[in-house]
Chains A and B, each alone.
Chain A
Amino acid sequence: MWQELFDELKGHGLIVISVAMDSRPADPLPWIEAAKPTYPVLIDRDHRLAELYNIVNVPQAVWIDEAGRIVRPAEPAGAYEGFRKMNRETRQVPEDVTRVTAQARATYLDAIRDWVRRGPASEHAFAADQARAHVPVPTDDSMAAHAMFRLGQLLIRRGEADEGHRVLQEASRRHPESWCIWRQSAGVTEQGLAALPDFWARVDALGEKRYYAKVDIKGMP
């Protein structure tokens, strides 16, 4: 989805920088090989980007203007939590939910187009105080979790996998909102992680609550 948008808007001064929250650098390679994107795709084994911008999941995005100023802080990038309504046996999502998911994505992409073409005049480019008000504020726990996460990765890299994984799990306990940290501290199965009972247990723990705050773009579900 980003390649198409990049092709459409690169002539208008947009760069897409895609960052994989993958601690095992080989994991994202098949995706990169298959998609052959023409914008930079980076690999963030230590989740440094998440630490710097207080990002908790994928896909999230940050809009940055020509002067290096944050125009929209970290927020879900056109994602809608439709998978939560998935039938867990058939893995089918009801049609009305699929429609809302498509609407979320289209609305978000249109907002990007408008910002790239119109800059600060776009209603989707936050003014400074608006942008500040939307910054997801880091906490002592989230920062401690990121320090632990980096320690866990360091230990795993130097061959101390048992302790490394223990530290990652502790990091996830300290900062449970971060699915990025949890995903790398949980086991991986052949069927993909979404099949894991743990995944659905975490989804169920949200109850009726939204995971993300509603994205502040007109028309977003």
Chain B
Amino acid sequence: MITIQSDLGEMTVERGQADGDALWLSAQDAEAATGFVKKPEGLCKGDLCVPLPPGREAAFVRGAEVNVAGLWRHLGRAVARSARGDAWVLGEGARDRAAALETLEAPDFTLPDASGRMHSLSAHRGKKALLVTWASW
């Protein structure tokens, strides 16, 4: 069992192979965990298609399996894995995040309050929002 956290949330897959920097998943699990599917143009998610680097296709796709960690790094995004390879975070990339902030559109988020009720920033559209951090520490 491998737990994977990505921009799509957290999921657990029954089968998968962690091999050094690579995380090989079935095409189906790769799509569920990341949204990317293999197409003739490359690995695609919605309108975004990532061509496989010529000569290095085997580092990303082998048979019906996809190396999602390899794809993530190729996109310049952060990857973190547990020592045993049974927990992976497919994080964000500095370039993507900088580009997103550059648009000045406030990134939306959904977080719980003390009673567990979820709140999203976007629910407060139409008001000026002062977003402040604090901590008990």
> Which A residues lie at the B interface, using CB under 8 A?
2, 5, 13-22, 25, 27-32, 40-44, 48-55, 57-70, 73, 77, 112, 115-116, 119, 128, 131-132, 135, 137-140, 142-144, 146-148, 150-151, 154-155, 158, 160, 163, 167, 180, 183-184, 188, 193
Interface on chain A toward B: helix, strand, loop, or mixed SS? mixed
CB neighbours of B106 from chain A (8 A): 62, 64, 68-70
Is A19 within 8 A of B134, CB to CB?
yes
Query: Which residue numbers of B lie inside 8 Å of A, CB to CB?
Result: 3, 5, 10, 76-83, 87-94, 97-98, 101-102, 104-109, 111-114, 119, 121-122, 124-137
Partner of B78, one of A116, A132, A140: A140
Contact A147 B101 (CB under 8 A): no
- Structural contact, A40 and B98, CB atoms closer than 8 A: no
| Known contacts A63-B130, A64-B129, A146-B78; A17 and B124 CB within 8 A of each other | yes
A-B contact count (CB 8 A): 213
Cβ–Cβ < 8 Å partners of B104 in chain A: 69-70, 128, 131-132
> Which of B83, B89, B113, B128 is the one whose CB lies under 8 Å from A13?
B128
27 A–B contacts, CB within 8 A, in A order: A14-B127, A14-B130, A15-B124, A15-B130, A20-B134, A22-B135, A22-B137, A27-B136, A42-B119, A49-B109, A49-B133, A51-B91, A53-B131, A59-B132, A68-B121, A69-B104, A135-B101, A137-B94, A138-B101, A139-B94, A140-B94, A143-B77, A146-B92, A151-B89, A154-B87, A183-B135, A193-B137
